[in-house]
Amino acid sequence: MSDDYRSMWTDLGLDLEAHDALLGVLGNAYREIYLAQQDRPEGMGYFDFVMSEVHGLRIKELLDEKAAGRKIVGSYCVFVPEEIVLAANATLVGLCSGADFAMEEVEMLLPRNTCALIKSAFGFKIGKVCPYLESADMVVGENTCDGKKKAYESLGHMIENLYVMDLPQMKSDQGRALLKAEYDRFKAAMEVLTGVTITADALKEAIRTVNAKRAALHRLLSLRAADPTPISGLDALLANQVFFYDNPARFTASVNAICDELEKRVAQQQGVFAAGTPRILISGCPQAVPNWKLPWIIESAGAVIVGEESCVGERGTRHLTDDTGRTVDELMAAIVDRYFQVDCAIFTPNPDRLMHIKEMVGAYHADGVIHYGLQFCQPYLMEAIPVEKALEDENIPCLRIETDYGMEDAGQLKTRVEAFVELLKP
């Protein structure tokens, strides 16, 4: 990274020594996990570049936007509607989590048995190592689970402009009404933040921009149904992760470019793994950068990941938003309808999620499912047992994994995953 970036990071208030250490670990992991892969699509070069500049050039772009008067909004969840942010002439970016940082300090504020994702988000703030967080004019939290709901009370003392969004817990008329009221409140908050009145034309354009991003990913995901699959699960996961950071138009163009390449691979029956390689669907908790441990273990064990039933995956991008409305109210209603279909484990009951897992098993010709639960993430861990039972009742093999961001259990996980993969072989 250049000296210009170091000056930029200093101005953002980052701890340079800690940040250097983080980038060193991130760079080494990326080389060992991603760049060591064989026969990667050439189009992945763009995503390699994004990752090499994820705390550099992309942050400079955001700061240039701020200098031009545009606001930056940071988010931890797919329930924060990017359409509303873009319509207010602001930029939405995902915030840092996915790795342990400053855990001793974090555990002075949160119980040790708090979800790893929540502790990670706190660690990046306390450790002063997330330039996205420090660049944001507003940080949007959301009351998905009880852990987040209570954690935001503490995080609010550390972040100048923390906005907390309430979310429904049941798919009911009352639940939809709550989501509508919260999105209307968020729209008003965005207008106050930016000084921009959101119009129907701006909302329609924003919906089309976000739909294009999601449609590009849908195209990529559909190509993974081929056998042999033309892209590794690790590389597909990276595209899903970059979705939350990159400029929308550039991301859409880059994903469509790699899809052009992958379509040629499929036509030539060229894959990154041999035909007949055991095919795995990962289901469960989101996997943010640099949470690559489990996918790396799976694909090092002789299997290929063909889909992610996750917020950083198909759950987060599955549905497009209807853009045919003519008024702000009609378009806002379409946004509510779209996000109300997200089948997060916070909902009770949650039959749609199980239905989608089964649909994905069929669509991607998966031989088995690995259910990924983050340690102390109660919603997904509670759903894991009935999900496993329902799948096995239909003769779909399922392995439940519960882990965190550390590498201490990598050997144990490798043994379990290798045994599971052996079971899937003909």
pTM over 0.75: yes
What is the C-alpha end-to-end distance of the chain, expressed in Å?
A: 48
* Residue 306, in any domain of the structure: yes
The rounded mean pLDDT for the chain is 96
* Residue 213, in any domain of the structure: yes
Q: Please report, for the domain that includes residue 295, its CATH number.
A: 3.40.50.11900
State the DSSP H helix or E strand holding residue 131, giving kind and residue range, or none if neither.
Answer: helix 131-135
> Is residue 252 over pLDDT 80?
yes
Q: What's the pLDDT tens digit per position in 331-366?
A: 999 999 999 999 999 999 999 999 999 999 999 999
Q: pLDDT at position 80, please?
A: 98
For residues 164 and 161, give the distance between their C-alpha atoms in angstroms, rounded to a whole number.
10
Instruction: Yes or no: say if 141 and 196 are a contact pair by the CB < 8 Å rule.
Output: no
* Residue 69, in any domain of the structure: no
* Residue 91, in any domain of the structure: no
CB atoms within 10 A of CB 170: 14
Count of domains for the chain? 1
Q: pLDDT at position 3, please?
A: 57
| Residues β-bridged to residue 369 | 281, 398
Q: What's the pLDDT tens digit per position in 186-208?
A: 999 999 999 999 999 999 999 99
Q: pLDDT at position 96, please?
A: 86
Q: What's the pLDDT tens digit per position in 269-287?
A: 999 999 999 999 999 999 9
Domain that holds residue 217: 205-320+344-424
Token pair of 310, please?
A: 């996750």
Residue 13 backbone zone (phi > 0: left; psi -120 to 50: alpha; other: beta)? left
Using a 10 angstrom Cβ sphere, with 0-12 exposed, 13-18 middle and 19 or more buried, the burial of residue 212 is: middle
Residue 426's pLDDT band (cuts 50, 70, 90):
confident
* Residue 356, in any domain of the structure: yes
CA 138 to chain centroid: 19
Residue 93's pLDDT band (cuts 50, 70, 90):
very high
> Is residue 57 over pLDDT 80?
yes
* Residue 48, in any domain of the structure: no
